[in-house]
Structure 1
Amino acid sequence: MSALTIIALLVSGVIIANISKSFFPNFPNAFTLIGLGIVMSFIPSLEHFSLEPEYFMLLILAPIMFMDGQEESLLSIKSHFRVIIELSVTLAIFTAILVGLLTNRIEEKWTLPLSIALAAIVVPTDAVAVKSITSNLAMPKGVNKALGLESLFNDATGLVLLDFALTVIPVGSFTWQTSLAGIGKFLIVAGGGVLVGIILSVLIIQIRFQLNMHINNPQTTTIPINIMTPFVIFLVAEHMGFSGILAVVAAGIVHNWEGNRMRLAATEVRIVTQNIWETLTSILNEVVFLILGISLPSVWQDMQNLGWENDWKLFALSLAIYTTMVVVRYLWVRLENSEHMVAFFGKDRSSEVNFNAKVFGISGVHGTVTLAMAFSLPTKINGETFIYRTDLIIIASMVILISMVMASVILPKMLPVSEQSYTEEELDNAREQMVDFATLKVQQNIPDRAVRESLVSELFSQKMSNQRIDEAEQSKAFPVEAQKVADFISDFLITDAIVDRYSPLVITRYGQMIERSPLSANWHEHPLQHFYRRLQHSYRRFLLKLGLRRFLHGHRGDRLKKQFENNPTYKEKYQQFKDFHEALLALNQDVMKAADQFLNEELQDRLDNNNVNNTDIYMARRSMDQLFQYVERKNHSQVVKIPNNIFVQVFQYEYDYVQDAYQHKAIKSGVANTLFNEISQAQSLQMMQSHDDELMVEEKAP
């Protein structure tokens, strides 16, 4: 089984899970991914899949922890340093000792170092799993912040404890010498990892800074360096015998500090890098649960081999371990009376701190780091088979599932459903009105109609890409609006100004063209007939593009040309045809101006009445343009070059609408911030695209 096959299957699983999320929005995404992983385990390529801890730590956990570190500012780390140490180190070690003593008491055959090894495996919590379970719940802000700070370093604490316990297992018991050696090793491994992360991050940042200052196209170099940073730092730290996880967390914190210090420098590189990392970590967080699901069938097979009697004993032990960890977490917060914990959990002996302590205890969910540590257990210790390895893996898997199920059942009963500052409908409506406002401004201020209509089409695509269109409703609304436009043009053709200026033949011919356009009711009543005409027209236009006019007409064109040269009658007929065609084009220009004004007034009227369902107007405008192009016999696929300064002007129209609507309290602050962000991203993308186009032009220039 190749690595490429595994990657393709994992990415496919993430895509399927995200598609299914829209059908089950209230179901925790973590369980969806785990269930899908179990199903995928039956695929032949994944049937014998085994979790390789080294690759998991390097390729998945390292970049995730790097981004988690970047979410915490250096100022926040300094101000909450005591809380971080207390939750991710002190609490983790204290919990591991209690769990180890409990396990040693229940499983009399197990030595204390073996019990501590199991405790070290199950201690690390998974903040990503908690976020998946509580995505639609109003988690207390202090508790949520504490869980994030706890997850920064407790993975590394568990890993160091496990390494320490494995070295003592052959001895069979802890001694003062081994304990002191373990504490010393813990401090060296943890401190060394943090130091390596800081030093390498500063060095890498300086390299990127110099590249940004001295090379012409820095993004092609600095962005790959940024992507490689967590992998390089993890490998270097592990090679030196330090904690790679702590190294990448420290690196993330340093990069957060560097990003805040140089917020206005190299903005293009920063935007692209941030988007890449957000997408990458989102995929990796989902791959984590997918891998968990794929690994569970092998655990189930081990359980079957042990027999049901042993399985029930292991389940009882797992439940006792989970209960102990929840109680310890609850009492730790409930009995803690230091001032630095008040900001997270509330005042001592209050109902608030009691409630937050319960939430904190239940939120101690365990995930794939625990499973990866379990699978990292050696098969042999001191040359002898490690007979308890399977038991530890089964218990770790059970603790993971119990913690996730209990959190999914209890937390929704404890916490209210989160109330968003705005609804998706409010955002869609505000976006609709913003685009409609910009459309009207474009129609009023851009003189070139080709550029104007191309911009309107761009704006319409912005609306369509973010809105859930009711296709059934639009299929009813569009023919009505199209017929209104057709009726307006028909009435316009019989006005005095048109009748006095154009011949009845020209007006009649134009009316016939309307009947053959998408504005006609017949177009919708007989779609197949018009589809055939459109296909035939596209075929003829394609041949003309290739210069194959002779293929269409044979030698008829040559014969007509000779007749035209030798017969004055043909000259007169040709002049009549030419005059007729020029009159038809002039009439088309008059209709364009009048129809544009008609649709603009209707769109303005709808905006004045806060009507946001205006997609039918855009669709009618597109059909109207097809009529105009048909009259002018233009190529429908004609590309219009829009100057960059006009795009900037359009973005300013959108900014103006959002700012004015927010000032008049027509939209909420959350909606305004989201729209400002969308406009900013679109503007940045346009600037980058414009820059790339200019470079291509310069390269092609002689």
Structure 2
Amino acid sequence: METVFLILLLLAAVVVANIVSWRFDNIPIAFIQIAAGLVLSFIPIYKHFELEPEVFLLVIISVLMFNDGQNTSLSRLTHQFGTTFSLSVELAIISILIVGFTTHLIIPSMPLALTFALGAIITPTDAVAVSSITSNMLVPKEVMGTLENESLFNDASGIVALNLAIAAAVTGQFSVMDGIGNFVYVFFGGILVGGILGAIIVAIRLRLINMHVDTPSVMVPFTLLTPFVVYLIAEAIGVSGILAVVVTGLIHGIQQNRLRLTSSRLQIVMNSTWQVVSSILNGIVFVLLGLSLPSVIINLHKHDTSSVFILLGVGILLYLIMTVLRYLWTNWDFARIRAWDRKEKHANSIVMAYSGVHGTITLAMAFSLPLTLNGQPFPYRTDIIFVATVVILTSLIVPTLALPLLLPKAVSKYSEEELAKAKGQMVDDAIVSIQTRHEKNTSTSQVINILDGQRTIEGHIDKAKLNIIFDNCFELEQQTILEMLKNEEITPLNANLYMRVARRTIIQYQQSAWQRFILVVRFGILEKFSPSKEARRRRKIFHQMKHQQADNRADMIAKNKKMWRQMAVTEKKPFEKVTSYLNQSLVNDKEKSREINLVRRAYDERHRRLTRTFNENENFENDQNELLIEAFQQENTYIQSKVATKEFSTELGSALYEQISTDQLVYLQSLNEE
């Protein structure tokens, strides 16, 4: 139970960090997650918290690497194979050797095998971390593509090299020829196993699709389990499980066109799931860094008071060495980047050097170091983790400060205001089209309500104004129902039932528990003791309804279905009154447009559900679906015409197309499930 609680706290810390980063978007999210981990470190339950190293490799690294693989373009990877191999293998090996010998010279007491292990840990780069830093900058496409391909395979190179270094530390011996042979077997064996398993798994997925067993409840868990299965099988054979996972992910990426034979719903669920999983795992790693940092520093102080400052200097020095190496490697054409001309080579090389950010994989590899070595505590484990932490933080801070000076600021092709305006024009065009073509269709009003919900409500919502509008609507409903009851247009039972639904709508949209309490008091206790003539008349009517319900309870149950069908009829007149009031309010008070539109959506949604649920027309559902499809097609046609005449930019058109696709899926699916 304690373990579950610890994990839940980690997840909560990631969520809080993500919320904070949304508010402070100029700060790299990794720093905020580290800060969240530091806060957790003060909780006593985390005082002796340790995560098994094998868990890092299996649960975190393998999943992240699989996701990177399936999101990588094979055509781009093939086109840049020479560059990718040079950076991810050749430069990685040279960096490991230089870092290892340099560290050994500074700290002679640290065995050479462990300094090489340190080099293997801090060599891998993190393209995702680079993207978070450069989100507001224009990074050359060739540079970003090169960084993504490099990070995909230098992670695997670092992990293979780390395993070899640890093996050397365990045996105390290292043969160059044996090391090269073992590296080739582990590296290329992992690629081969990953290719075979990837082909088998993709074939199984395609078979399930052909058998129509492609629901999210089957396919999403199937895909999430893939990296675990591949990793465990590869490690059991003795080859690189990480490389096998990467290649399996690449094969999934190759087969995406065939795998898209599944439903749009599944594709959206699958993509969203992987985005969430990847974000959470990345966040957990940095939260753990902040969580473990205090204990790492305390342990170092216990070991040697000056060691913290020495290791801090070592970490900064190693980062500088790797940064200079990256610049020289690309600027002196060792990376064989043919797409760069002479004029941009120097500038791109500097960007490449600063973009050598070390993130999740480096930290995960540091934590994956064994706790023991030959039955004894792993020597220098705390030191290696601390140096890796310094390298990570330095590699995050330096580009955060330097890259904005080297790269132009990204300028959005359209503003949020332009998107909202264009979306409103698109919706207006679709509504006019539906009204013109299907004026007499009973489903037209419901479809228009749905389309109207596509509009973007901009700006801050004033809760006080919102509640006043809701209260006014409720009063209007109540007055209308009482008039209908007085004129014997409806029965007391239907009136009472409708007012319960209306009251539930108002309470649902109150913004706080206190406001809900006030609402109950206002329409309950206070009204009960109110001396006004109108209040007494209301009490008399509803008192009669209450007694009628009690006397005819058996009847009410028997006629329940018919009664609810009558709700659609009962609701028509109050809805018209409310809609008229909101429309008039929108004309008279533009300052409340956001609040009025939000209230209108609430009533439109309730009206749509009541009409959809209790309408007796058997063709209602089909009519509404057909009109919706026609409306969405009209929206697509409208955008196409605006982009063709250059009234909308291509980027703005793409954003609107994406919105239509999502809305079409959500609305039609909700109609079919109701």
Q: Tell me the TM-score range normalised by the shorter chain.
A: 0.7 to 0.9
Amino acid at match of 1:194: I
1:111–1:173 CA contact under 8 A, matched in 2: no
Residues 152-231 of structure 1: pairs in structure 2 closer than 5 A: 152-169=152-169, 174=174, 178-215=175-212, 218-231=215-228
Q: Deviations 1:95-118 (Å, cap 9, x if unpaired)?
A: 111111212222233343232122
Pairing 1:355–2:351 present: no
**Are residues 1:469 and 2:466 paired?**
no
SS in 2 for 1:418: coil
1:196 and 1:623 map into 2 onto residues whose CA distance is 55
* TM-aligned CA deviation for residue 189 of structure 1: 0.7
AA matched with 1:76 = R
Residue equivalent to 1:513: none
1:635 and 1:184 map into 2 onto residues whose CA distance is: 72
TM-score normalised to structure 1 length: 0.75
- Cα offset, 1:91, TM superposition: 0.6
Tell me: CA distance 1:110–1:27, structure 2 relative to 1, closer, same or farther (3 Å).
closer
> Structure 2: how far apart are the matches of 1:538 and 1:648?
47
Would the alpha carbon gap of residues 125 and 477 (structure 1) be closer, same or farther in structure 2, given more than 3 Å must change? same
- Tell me, yes or no, if the aligned pair for 2:69 and 2:248 is still in contact at 8 Å: yes
Contact 1:197 1:248 in 2 (8 A): yes
Counterpart CA distance in 2 for 1:68 and 1:623 is 41
1:10 and 1:639 mapped to 2: Cα distance? 46
Contact 1:84 1:149 in 2 (8 A): yes
Would the alpha carbon gap of residues 76 and 655 (structure 1) be closer, same or farther in structure 2, given more than 3 Å must change? same
Structure 1 residues 323-338: aligned runs within 5 Å? 323-336=320-333
Are the equivalent residues in 2 in contact too, given 1:212–1:266 (CA < 8 A)?
no
1:120–1:161 CA contact under 8 A, matched in 2:
yes
Separation in 2, partners of 1:528, 1:386? 61
For 2:75, the equivalent position in structure 1 comes to 75
Q: Equivalents in 2 of 1:16, 1:658: separation in Å?
A: 38
1:7 matched to 2:4? no
> What secondary structure sits across from 1:27 in the alignment?
coil
Specify the alignment match of 1:663 in structure 2. 644
Question: What is the Cα deviation at residue 420 of structure 1?
Answer: 2.0
Compared with structure 1, are the counterparts of its residues 613 and 79 closer, same or farther at alpha carbon in structure 2 (3 Å cutoff)?
A: farther
Q: Which residue of 2 aligns with 1:342?
A: 338
SS in 2 for 1:462: coil
Provide the rounded CA distance (Å) in 1 between the counterparts of 2:98 and 2:602: 74
- Measured in 1, the distance between the counterparts of 2:308 and 2:224 equals 44
Instruction: Quote the Cα distance in structure 1 between the aligned partners of 2:600 and 2:265.
Output: 36
Distance in 1 (alpha carbons) for counterparts of 2:600 and 2:359: 54
The equivalences for 1:525-564 within 5 A come to 549=545, 551=547
Deviation at 1:157, TM superposition (A): 1.0
Q: Which residue of 1 aligns with 2:428?
A: 436
Residue 533 of structure 1 deviates from its aligned partner by 7.8
Measured after TM superposition, the shift of residue 249 of structure 1 is: 1.0
SS in structure 1 of the partner of residue 410 of structure 2: coil
Q: Distance in 2 between matches of 1:59 and 1:196?
A: 19
Q: Which moved more, 1:136-145 or 1:678-687?
A: 678-687
Write out per-residue CA displacement over residues 306-327 of structure 1, whole angstroms, 9 at most, x where no aligned residue: 3432222222222221111111
Q: SS in structure 2 opposite 1:164?
A: helix
Aligned twin of 2:625: 644
Deviation at 1:156, TM superposition (A): 1.5
Amino acid at match of 1:289: F
Aligned match of 2:91: 91
Q: Equivalents in 2 of 1:622, 1:388: separation in Å? A: 62
Unaligned runs of 5+ in 2: 477-485, 488-501, 504-515, 529-534, 553-568
User: How many residues matched?
Assistant: 603
Q: 1:550 to 1:31 in 2, by over 3 A?
A: closer
**For the Cα contact (< 8 Å) 2:56–2:364, is it kept in 1?**
yes
Q: Would the alpha carbon gap of residues 412 and 624 (structure 1) be closer, same or farther in structure 2, given more than 3 Å must change?
A: closer
Distance 2:109 2:518 in 1: 84
Alignment CA distance shift 1:318-1:624 (3 Å): closer
The DSSP-based 3-state class of the residue aligned with 2:186 is helix
The question of whether the paired residues in 1 share the 8 Å contact of 2:56 and 2:367 is answered with no
Cα–Cα, structure 1 residues 203 and 688, in superposed 2: closer, same or farther, change >3 Å?
A: farther
* Counterpart check, 1:402 vs 2:394: yes
Q: Equivalent of 1:374, from 354, 361, 366?
A: 366
Q: Which has the larger radius of gyration?
A: 1
AA paired with 2:133? I
Residue 512 of structure 1 is matched in structure 2 by none
1:102 alignment counterpart = 102
Letter in 2 for 1:49: F
- RMSD over aligned Cα, in angstroms? 4.5
Residues 68-124 of structure 1: CA deviation (Å, up to 9, x unaligned): 111223222222211111111111001111111212222233343232122112111
Alpha-carbon distance between aligned partners in 2 of 1:256 and 1:50, rounded to the nearest angstrom: 35
Cα distance in 2 for partners of 1:670, 1:537 equals 56
1:284 aligned partner = 281
Match of 1:393 among 385, 396, 402: 385
CA–CA distance in structure 2, aligned partners of residues 537 and 686 of structure 1 = 41
Deviates more, 1:379-388 or 1:180-189: 379-388
State how 1:255-654 maps to structure 2 within 5 Å. Answer: 255-264=252-261, 266-336=263-333, 340-343=336-339, 346-348=340-342, 350=343, 352-447=344-439, 451-463=443-455, 466-472=456-462, 475=465, 549=545, 551=547, 615=594, 618=597, 642=621, 643-654=624-635
